[in-house]
Chain A
Amino acid sequence: MGDALFNIPWAVILILLPLVGGMTCFLWPKVAKTLGLFTSSVIVLSVVGLAWKMIGNGIYRHAVGGWSSPLGIELYADGLSLLMLAMAALVGLAISLYSTAYFEQSLSLRFWPLWLFLLAALNALFLSADIFNLYVTLELIGLAAVALTALSGGRDALSGAMRYLLATLLGSLAYLFGVVLLYHGFGSVDIAILAQRVEATPIVWAALGLMSAGLVLKTALFPLHFWLPPAHASAPAPVSAVLSALVVKASFYILLRLWLDIFGPLGAEGVADLLGLLGAAAVLWGSLQALRQTRLKLLIAYSTVAQIGYLFLAFPLAVGDGVAAWSAAAYLALSHALAKAAMFLVAGNLLRFGGHDRIADLDRVVERLPITVTAFALAGVSIMGLPPSGGFIGKWLLLEAALVQGRWDLVVVMMVGGLMAAGYIFKVLGYAFTQADAPHESRPVPLSMEWAALLLAIAAILVGLMATEILPLVGIGDPFGTGGVKP
């Protein structure tokens, strides 16, 4: 029995199940909610199964249809992939739980198929081992995400989705051009093979430029973040949560993967410094904009712009100590996903409750929605980077790397960013305690919506407490071992 369980191809389930589930939801809308929740739960179990297998065997490989690479398509998972899969599975389960109560019937019919397709594409991306497959899955994610953004209709959502679509297609095309150049130069799209063959030739620098530009646009790094706030703020709450928590991480993951295996060892310090500089600018600019916002969803969206900046601070720091900086980036990505999803779900609850998301008119919600406000506060602890949250561990590792290398400029940026995050989070919490000038009608918020947000926020704290268990898992297969720019 144990062996049979051990040998189940968990990675295949992770892709196939949501794909089939999405189609089934489309054909039988009546079962969509149940099926969606079931699929998300099985995905969590499959990730646990995969982790169990990987703890025993190390790196996971699966040749699809028995055709091994370079001819066939291979699924590949190391510690970094596992962390990302776990992130998608956890956030996905909470979003599914939330969405069973959030959507009214007509929107529900369209939400579930798209959401499950998006989950399938995300899982496929995190399991891909070749750069062309990554392109296809990236496009699948983009299309599903745009369709979800436009779900509620209306002027803001539609134009936000359109802008998002144009940006995401441009990013993918630039990335594809890079894939073409790498294939032309080295005759393979397999990351492992490319890693062996790649040399510092002009064609590689062109590919690096195109792919980085495309992925940075899709990850919404300052100053290419223009499409993110309108799209993330106008989408329905669970969709905003998915976009901020998971979709931007997908393109970041590809960039990280390419950097670790292909570009990093070539010694591209200049590009790493540029990415770090843009990251620092994103931290400051995003936090500043978040402080200025008067609407909660826009505030959270700009906070995402700032938190993405932190991820890119790891690039220049990896020159000195690859493992510490990349572990920090991976940890930040995970804890940001959990905390930010919780925050957007909270915003959805407050919108449902009061019919608006104007921060100044929150009107003592702390008394009336205690669970929701607790979720916001706990998620805020992680976003600010206070102990014992996941955000604290990530920022601490990053800060330590910066201190060891004497990068005082980055230390200052991280400190100031943390203070500004505290500023915008306490701004919201402050209004949650005070009475608004104009009291308004309120509508009840279903318990599952409140608890989904709270559970995510608690998870964001828990990953901080469990750092000693999680970090060794990320190290399976030594994803950061050869990474980082050579000193």
Chain B
Amino acid sequence: MNAAFLYALVGVGLFCIGLYALIVHAHLLRKILALNIMGSGVFLVLVALAKRTGNAIPDPVPHAMVITGIVVAVSATALALFLMLKVAAETGRAELPEERGE
């Protein structure tokens, strides 16, 4: 087991922890953080696997993808936080209301 594989495993672990937190927590801030942790997990896997070529020089394409991914994640988080504040201002709680009789 080499270092890159270990990092990738950690990334998968982060993804799973984030998914768990997203499902069990009701508070919206925790849900948003959970999504960010999941995103970090994916990025970590991407960066770690960039060394798959075995050369001294890692593959640069995944790095470019991670940068794009971070930009997307930042914008999505900004929108989510803003929506959370709006929901809290409107309902008094930063939580989603229960589903009405489905």
Contacts and interface: CB of A to CB of B under 8 A. Distances in A.
Interface of A: 132, 136, 139, 142-143, 146-147, 150, 153-155, 158-159, 161-163, 165-166, 169-170, 173, 176-177, 180, 183-184, 189, 226, 230, 289
A183 B46 CA distance: 9
Contacts of B102: 226, 289
A159 B92 CA distance: 12
The listed residue with most B CB atoms (<10 A of its CB), out of A155, A173, A189, is A173
B61 interface: yes
Nearest to A156: B97
A162 B22 contact: no
Nearest to A144: B79
Contacts of B83: 146, 150, 158, 161-162, 165
A169 B86 contact: no
B27 to A, nearest CB: 12
Contacts of A150: 83, 86
B96 A147 contact: no
A147 B79 contact: yes
Closest 10 CB pairs of A and B: A184-B49, A139-B72, A158-B87, A180-B46, A162-B83, A155-B90, A177-B42, A169-B35, A158-B86, A173-B38
Name the prevailing secondary structure of the B interface residues. helix
Contacts of B90: 153-155, 158
A183 B69 CA distance: 15
A136 B31 contact: no
A163 B79 contact: no
Interface size band for B: 20 to 34
Given A154-B90, A177-B15, A159 B97 contact: yes
Given A143-B79, A150-B86, A183-B61, A170 B96 contact: no
B87 A176 contact: no
A176 B15 CA distance: 12
B2 interface: no
Nearest to A142: B76
Contact of A165 (B45, B49, B62, B80): B80
A163 B96 contact: yes
B79 A173 contact: no
B75 interface: yes
Contacts of A161: 83
Nearest to B38: A173
A218 to B, nearest CB: 14
Contact of A226 (B15, B38, B99): B99
7 contacts: A142-B76, A146-B79, A159-B96, A162-B84, A173-B38, A173-B39, A183-B61
A406 B61 CA distance: 47
Nearest to A147: B79
Nearest to B72: A139
A139 B15 CA distance: 18
Contact of A159 (B46, B52, B65, B87): B87
Given A162-B96, A180-B45, A132 B65 contact: yes
B35 A170 contact: yes
A165 B46 contact: no
A409 B26 CA distance: 40
Contacts of B87: 158-159, 162
Interface string B25-60: 000100110010011001001100100100000000
B86 A183 contact: no
Given A143-B76, A173-B35, A184 B52 contact: yes
Contacts of B61: 183, 189
Interface in B86-102: 86-87, 90-91, 96-97, 99, 102
A159 B91 contact: yes
Nearest to A176: B42
A2 B72 CA distance: 41
A153 B87 CA distance: 9
Contact of B31 (A166, A177, A183): A166
A261 B69 CA distance: 25
A180 B87 CA distance: 34
A126 B4 CA distance: 35
Nearest to B99: A226
Contact of B42 (A136, A155, A166, A173): A173
A129 to B, nearest CB: 16
B49 A162 contact: no
Contact of B35 (A147, A163, A166, A289): A166
The listed residue with most A CB atoms (<10 A of its CB), out of B22, B42, B49, B87, is B42
A180 B22 contact: no
Contacts of A170: 19, 22, 35, 38
A170 B80 CA distance: 13
Nearest to B83: A162
